[in-house]
Amino acid sequence: MSRKLSVIGTGVIGNGWIARALARGWDVVAFDPAPEAPARTRAFVDNAWASLTRQGLAEGASPARLTFVDSLEAAVAGADLIQENVPERLDLKREILAALDAAAAPEVLIGSSTSGFKPSDLQRDCAKAPGRVIVAHPFNPVYLLPLVELVGGEATEPAEVERAAALYRELEMRPLAVRREIEGHIADRLMEALWREALHLVNDGVATTEEVDAAVVYGCGLRWSLMGTFLTFHLAGGEAGMRHMLEQFGPALKLPWTKLEAPELTEELIDRVVEGCEHQAAGRPVAELDRRRDDFLVELLGLVQKYWPEAEGLEGRI
AA identity, residue 83 = Q
Distances (CA, A) of 100 to 26, 41, 74, 133, 236: 20, 21, 11, 9, 49
Whole-number Cα distances in Å, 37 to 10, 52, 67, 70: 7, 21, 12, 11
Question: What is the DSSP pairing of strand 109-112 with strand 81-84?
Answer: parallel
- Convert the pLDDT of each residue in 162-188 to its tens digit: 999 999 999 999 999 999 999 999 999
pLDDT at 200: 94
Which residues, given as ranges, of the chain have pLDDT below 50?
none
**CB-side exposure of 184: number of CA atoms within 13 Å?**
8
**CB 85 within 8 Å of CB 41:** no
Residue 160 has what pLDDT? 97
Q: What is the pLDDT of residue 16?
A: 98
| pTM score above 0.85 | yes
| 147 vs 135: CA distance, rounded Å | 13
The C-alpha atoms of residue 305 and residue 210 are separated, in whole angstroms, by 29
Output the pLDDT for position 154: 97
Length of the chain: 318
Nearest to 112 by CA among 38, 37, 2, 9: 9
Q: Tell me, what's the pLDDT at 294?
A: 94
Residue 57's nearest CA partner among 30, 22, 27, 33 is 22
> How much is the pLDDT for 253?
76
Strands (E), 168-251: 174-177
Q: How many CA atoms lie within 13 A of 32 on its CB side?
A: 24
Residue 246: its pLDDT value, please? 85
